[in-house]
C-alpha cells in the first residue's frame, strides 16, 4: 500500500477528531479536579475512597458486559491469562493518583507540575526502548512546542506559591507519581490495542477497586470519614457523584485516544488542563488572567498537531490512527 504524506492528515476527519478527543479528555479531567477541590473545601479529602467508587462503577459496567458477551468461563480465562498485566496497570494508576495528591500537599504547585513533565519523558523512553516505537524529528519538535507552551504558562503565573513544608518529600512524590502515570499510560496503550477495550477497563477497574479499598482502609480514610464534621447535604453528594461520573467518563475515553494516537499524544493533550482550569477559575472564581494563557494554550495545541502530523502514516487508517504501533 502507498503511504500517505503526513500533511495529508490535515484534510482528514481523523486528525481533527483526535485533537478534539484529546481536549475533551483534558476538560473532563479539569472537571474532576474542580469537583475534587469543591469537596476538599467542604472538608472531604479522601482520594482513595473517591477513586474507589469510580473503579466500582467501571467494574459494574464493563465486567458485567464482558461476562454477558463472553460468558463467565471466557472472562475467567482472560483474567487468568492476562490478569497480572491488569493488576500491574491498576497498581501504576492507583499509585500515580496517590503520589500526585501527596506531592501537592508537600511541595509547590509549580514544582509538582514541572516534575510531571517526567511522565512524557517516561512514555517516550519506554515506548522507544521497550516497544520499538521510532519518534521522528517532527514529533520531537511537537513535544518541544508543547513543553514551551506549558513553561510559558507556569512561569507567567503570578499566583503566590503554596507553602511547602516538606518540599523534598513533595518533589520525590511528584517524581514517583509521574513515573507511575507514564508506565500506566504505556501499558494501557499496549493492552487496549491488543485486547477488547471493555475487557481492559473491566479487569483494570476490578483490580483498582480492590487496591483502593485496601489503601483506604490502611490510610484510615473510613475512620476519618466517620469522624468528619462534614455536612453531607445534597450539594456535597452532588459534587461527589459528579466527580465519580466525570472520572469514569475520562477512563472510558482514554482507550479511544490511545488507539487513535499514542500514550505520548495523550500526555501532551493533558498539558492543556491548566489552561482549561484557568477558564474555570475565570468563570467561577473571577480569576484575572494575562496574555500568556491564550498564547500557551495555542502553543500546546499547535504542538499536538505537529506531533501527530509527524507520526509515521499508517496506510488505510487502522487502530493506530496516524501512529505505527510495532507490537500490533
Low-confidence ranges of the chain (pLDDT < 70): 1-10, 107-116, 157-165, 285-289, 312-323, 328
**Among the listed residues 204, 229, 262, 273, the one whose alpha carbon sits nearest the alpha carbon of residue 51:** 204
**Dmax over Cα atoms in the chain, in whole Å?**
66
131 belongs to a structural domain: yes
318 belongs to a structural domain: no
- Find where cell 504542538 sits: 303
Determine the pLDDT at residue 314.
Answer: 45
Determine the pLDDT at residue 275.
Answer: 77
166 belongs to a structural domain: yes
210 belongs to a structural domain: yes
Domain containing 65 equals 6-310
Determine the pLDDT at residue 116.
Answer: 67
**Among the listed residues 314, 321, 319, 324, the one whose alpha carbon sits nearest the alpha carbon of residue 5:** 314
Q: What is the pLDDT of residues 115-131, one digit of tens each?
A: 667 888 899 899 988 88
322 belongs to a structural domain: no
Q: Determine how many CB atoms are found less than 10 A away from the CB of residue 233.
A: 9
Cell of 3: 503511504
228 belongs to a structural domain: yes
**Interatomic CA distance for residues 193 and 311, integer angstroms:** 17
Determine the pLDDT at residue 110.
Answer: 58
Q: What is the pLDDT of residues 226-272, one digit of tens each?
A: 777 777 899 999 999 999 999 999 999 999 999 988 888 898 888 88
80 belongs to a structural domain: yes
320 belongs to a structural domain: no
Domain count, the chain: 1
**Interatomic CA distance for residues 147 and 190, integer angstroms:** 25
**Interatomic CA distance for residues 214 and 148, integer angstroms:** 40
DSSP state of 63: I
Residue 316 CB partners (closer than 8 Å, separation 6+):
1
**Among the listed residues 326, 184, 165, 322, the one whose alpha carbon sits nearest the alpha carbon of residue 251:** 184
Amino acid at each position: 500500500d502507498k503511504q500517505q504524506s503526513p500533511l495529508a492528515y490535515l484534510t482528514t476527519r481523523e486528525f481533527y477528531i483526535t485533537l478534539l478527543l484529546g481536549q475533551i479528555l483534558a476538560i473532563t479531567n479539569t472537571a474532576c479536579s474542580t469537583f475534587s477541590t469543591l469537596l476538599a473545601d467542604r472538608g472531604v479529602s479522601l482520594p482513595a475512597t473517591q477513586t474507589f467508587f469510580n473503579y466500582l462503577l467501571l467494574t459494574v459496567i464493563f465486567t458485567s458486559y464482558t461476562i454477558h458477551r463472553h460468558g463467565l468461563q471466557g472472562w475467567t480465562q482472560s483474567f487468568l491469562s492476562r490478569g497480572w498485566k491488569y493488576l500491574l496497570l491498576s497498581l501504576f494508576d492507583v499509585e500515580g493518583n496517590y503520589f500526585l495528591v501527596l506531592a501537592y500537599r508537600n511541595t509547590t504547585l509549580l514544582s509538582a507540575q514541572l516534575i510531571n513533565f517526567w511522565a512524557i519523558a517516561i512514555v517516550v523512553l519506554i515506548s522507544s526502548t521497550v516497544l520499538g516505537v521510532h519518534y521522528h524529528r517532527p514529533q520531537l519538535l511537537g513535544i518541544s512546542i508543547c513543553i514551551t507552551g506549558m513553561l510559558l504558562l507556569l512561569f507567567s503565573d503570578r499566583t503566590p506559591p503554596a507553602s511547602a513544608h516538606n518540599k523534598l518529600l513533595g518533589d520525590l512524590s511528584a517524581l514517583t507519581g509521574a513515573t507511575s502515570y507514564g508506565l500506566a499510560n504505556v501499558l494501557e496503550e499496549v493492552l487496549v490495542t491488543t485486547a477488547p477495550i471493555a475487557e481492559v477497563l473491566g479487569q483494570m477497574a476490578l483490580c483498582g477497586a480492590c487496591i483502593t479499598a485496601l489503601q483506604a482502609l490502611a490510610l484510615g480514610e473510613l475512620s476519618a470519614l466517620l469522624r468528619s464534621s462534614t455536612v453531607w447535604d445534597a450539594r456535597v453528594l452532588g459534587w461527589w457523584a459528579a466527580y465519580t461520573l466525570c472520572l469514569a467518563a475520562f477512563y472510558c475515553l482514554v482507550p479511544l485516544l490511545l488507539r487513535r494516537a499514542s500514550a505520548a499524544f495523550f500526555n501532551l493533550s493533558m498539558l492543556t488542563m491548566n489552561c482549561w482550569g484557568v477558564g474555570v477559575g475565570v468563570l467561577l472564581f473571577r480569576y484575572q488572567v494575562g496574555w500568556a494563557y491564550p498564547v500557551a494554550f495555542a502553543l500546546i495545541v499547535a504542538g499536538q498537531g505537529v506531533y501527530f502530523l509527524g507520526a509515521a502514516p499508517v496506510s488505510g487508517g487502522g487502530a493506530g490512527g496516524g501512529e505505527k504501533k510495532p507490537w500490533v
